[in-house]
């Protein structure tokens, strides 16, 4: 069973996980951006340290949350696990495959949903998803599965045949989630997947994520700054602040410290503020990760 883990300047996080089989290992990952000459006549930008000695593990079949504000480093972790960028130091593996040395094997195991999903906007959701399924070698059953998946996410067959550019951003995000789920990844990387969705749509997506985990034995890594979503959907949560994991545990374990200080019913908002000195409620700064 996982325990509450809180980082100090001299203590490295244990990489403990409650699952019997490990899906993801992130071991002392560091990453910085900048610090190089852009042009011969321009000075180097000050380097920005995005991640500092990040370590955690995710058990197979677990829904694991990364909770933090914009610029905290959450999306950088997702991009490293997606093999989109390289870490400066440390090591990360997905089901035993190193994300740097075995990047092709990792790509077959994962799929990623971000808040900036790309599509052929002139095509319909159905046409976009049929194209994606062909890339993954799916055959004649794809059309049926696509329509069923979209229906579960609240998109009718009629809507699925309209140009994607006519749909709201929230509806387009549902199509992005459907695209990821149709490939049946063993590791699903969700980078703020419900941003822009109304409350009902959020619940539909959250229900579907649980169903995918339960029916397809998938492991899920969820990046979010929605504390209610993190508490409702995840098995364990890592709180990330300024490129560091400052606490890790179940939502109940994360609340233990405040209970010991006399808070009878602490919320995740209060936990986050206690750990970071910040609030996520008014976190509207541009993404810097």
Burial of 46 per CB tally in 10 Å (0-12, 13-18, 19+): exposed
Q: Give the pLDDT score at 28.
A: 95
User: What's the predicted TM-score (pTM) here?
Assistant: 0.79
List all residues 6 or more positions away from 172 whose beta carbon is below 8 Å from its beta carbon.
Answer: 117, 119, 164
Q: Give the pLDDT score at 44.
A: 60
Q: Give the pLDDT score at 213.
A: 79
Q: Give the pLDDT score at 80.
A: 96
Asked if residue 29 lies in contact with residue 91, where contact means CB atoms within 8 angstroms, the answer is yes
Mean pLDDT per 10-residue section of the chain, whose length is 289 residues? 38 40 94 71 72 94 90 91 94 95 91 78 90 77 86 87 87 83 83 80 80 80 88 92 92 86 82 77 45
Q: Give the pLDDT score at 102.
A: 94
Q: Give the pLDDT score at 41.
A: 60
Q: Give the pLDDT score at 31.
A: 94
Report the C-alpha gap between 230 and 218 in whole angstroms: 18
Q: How many CB atoms lie within 10 A of CB 85?
A: 15
Q: Could you give the residue ranges of the DSSP H alpha helices within the chain?
A: 74-81, 103-109, 125-135, 142-152, 157-160, 169-182, 199-216, 227-233, 251-260, 268-276
Domains of the chain, by residue range, sit at 15-276
What pairs with residue 48 in β-bridges?
Answer: 33
Phi and psi at 253, nearest 5°, equal -65, -35
Q: Give the pLDDT score at 8.
A: 33
CATH of domain 15-276: 3.40.50.300
Phi and psi at 158, nearest 5°, equal -65, -45
Tell me the CA distances in angstroms from 110 to 19, 36, 145, one per residue in order.
Answer: 19, 32, 19
Q: Indicate the pairing of strand 219-224 with strand 187-191.
A: parallel
Phi-psi region of 34 (alpha: psi -120 to 50; beta: other; left: phi over 0): left
Q: Give the pLDDT score at 172.
A: 84
**Nearest in space to 289 (alpha carbons), one of 12, 49, 42:** 49
Q: Indicate the pairing of strand 187-191 with strand 110-113.
A: parallel
List all residues 6 or more positions away from 261 whose beta carbon is below 8 Å from its beta carbon.
Answer: none
Phi and psi at 196, nearest 5°, equal 90, 0
What's the gap between Cα 68 and its chain centre? 11
């Amino acid at each position: 069973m996982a325990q509450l883990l809180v980082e100090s300047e001299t203590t490295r996080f244990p990489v403990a996980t409650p699952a019997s089989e490990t899906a993801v290992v992130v071991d002392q990952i560091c990453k910085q951006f900048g610090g190089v000459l852009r042009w011969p006549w321009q000075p180097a930008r000050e380097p920005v340290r995005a991640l500092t000695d990040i370590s955690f593990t995710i058990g197979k079949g677990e829904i694991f949350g990364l909770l933090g504000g914009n610029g905290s480093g959450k999306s950088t972790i997702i991009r490293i696990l997606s093999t989109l960028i390289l870490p400066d130091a440390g090591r990360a593996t997905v089901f035993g495959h190193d994300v740097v040395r075995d990047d092709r094997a990792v790509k077959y195991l994962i799929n990623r949903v971000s808040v900036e999903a790309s599509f052929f906007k002139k095509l319909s959701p159905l046409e976009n998803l049929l194209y994606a399924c062909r890339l993954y070698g799916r055959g004649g059953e794809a059309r049926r599965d696509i329509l069923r998946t979209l229906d579960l996410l609240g998109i009718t067959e009629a809507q699925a045949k309209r140009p994607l550019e006519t749909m709201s951003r929230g509806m387009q995000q549902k199509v992005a989630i459907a695209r990821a789920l149709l490939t049946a990844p063993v590791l699903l990387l969700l980078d703020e997947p419900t941003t822009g969705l109304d409350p009902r749509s959020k619940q539909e997506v959250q229900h579907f994520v649980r169903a995918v985990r339960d029916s397809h034995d998938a492991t899920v890594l969820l990046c979010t700054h929605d504390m209610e979503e993190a508490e409702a959907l995840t098995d364990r949560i890592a709180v990330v602040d300024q490129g560091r994991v400052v606490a890790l545990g179940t939502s109940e374990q994360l609340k233990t410290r405040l209970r010991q200080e006399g808070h009878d019913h602490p919320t995740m908002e209060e936990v986050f503020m206690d750990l970071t000195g910040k609030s996520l409620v008014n976190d509207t700064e541009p993404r810097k990760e």
